[in-house]
């Protein structure tokens, strides 16, 4: 689960820029929050990412416990090019990892969360 500061902006990023689908979304007016679940496939078969928008919170601190979300892609170089073309921010260009051969890159979502793109093996 990620806490986000603008639900539509985050849904747009995860669906349009990273190619996920909006799986479900619901507002909870009594609790003053909204939830959206995004992913690459149905939740019964694949993992989903929960986005939480607390209506009365303007910003969050990242915290030291969170590292990043990792997503395997077929071509990291092509994924970076597409993400950049769609307005996404590439933080670390595609290339081999330090002290290894795995090809990876990092992008930042609209709230500053880091997403690692890993070359599928």
- C-alpha 27/C-alpha 53 separation (Å) is 9
Residue 43 annotated as catalytic: no
Q: Where do the DSSP E strands lie in 7-68?
A: 21-28, 33-39, 48-54
- C-alpha 33/C-alpha 56 separation (Å) is 8
Beta carbons of 110 and 6 less than 8 angstroms apart: yes
Cβ neighbours of residue 118 closer than 8 Å, sequence gap 6 or more: 70, 71, 72, 73, 76, 102, 103, 104
Q: Which of 43, 81, 93, 116 is catalytic?
A: 116
Q: Known catalytic residues?
A: 116
């Amino acid at each position: 689960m990620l806490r986000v500061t603008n639900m539509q902006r985050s849904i747009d990023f995860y669906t349009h820029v990273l190619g996920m689908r909006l799986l479900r979304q619901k507002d909870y007016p009594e609790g003053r929050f909204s939830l959206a679940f995004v992913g690459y496939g149905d939740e019964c078969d694949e993992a989903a990412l929960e986005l939480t928008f607390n209506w009365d919170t303007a910003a969050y601190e990242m915290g030291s416990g969170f590292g990043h979300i990792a997503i395997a892609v077929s071509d990291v170089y092509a994924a970076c090019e597409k993400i950049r073309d769609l307005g996404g921010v590439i933080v670390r260009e595609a290339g081999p990892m330090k002290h290894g051969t795995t090809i990876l890159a990092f992008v930042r979502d609209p709230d500053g969360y880091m997403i690692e793109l890993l070359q599928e093996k």
